[in-house]
Amino acid sequence: LQKILILLHVTTCVVVGKTLMILFPNAMKRYILQQGEKSRMNKNPKFSYENWGPTFFSFEYLLFVLKVKWKRLEDEAYEGHPAPNTPVVTLDGEVRHLLDFMRDNRPLILNFGSCT
């Protein structure tokens, strides 16, 4: 049921977004550039709006957003319940699952940071 609701919501957003891009291209370009500022996409001089802007509200965009939102359904953690076995990528680019790193009866410690 959750996947169907997500499908309906995302599809509606994409159809409305695509329609607005056709009817009001300049206004939608400004809106998409504002979104690019939030995500810092437009800070890279080699990655212009013409590269990524038109991909918004495309069929590929729809599939990507659905994939991410459906995957997040599996990643919910609840107190007192087992941790989700979230997919992670190793430094070698190999896709593993979080609980693959558990060893014997030792606790698994996650440390998040940035390498900039």
Q: Quick one: pLDDT at residue 18?
A: 93
Burial class (CB in 10 A: 0-12, 13-18, 19+), 32: buried
Give the pLDDT band of residue 27 (cuts 50, 70, 90): very high
pLDDT in tens, 33-71: 888 787 777 677 777 788 777 888 899 999 999 988 888
Query: DSSP code of 104?
Result: T
Confirm whether pTM is higher than 0.75: no
Integer Cα distance of 21 and 90 in angstroms:
38
pLDDT in tens, 86-112: 888 888 889 898 888 888 888 888 777
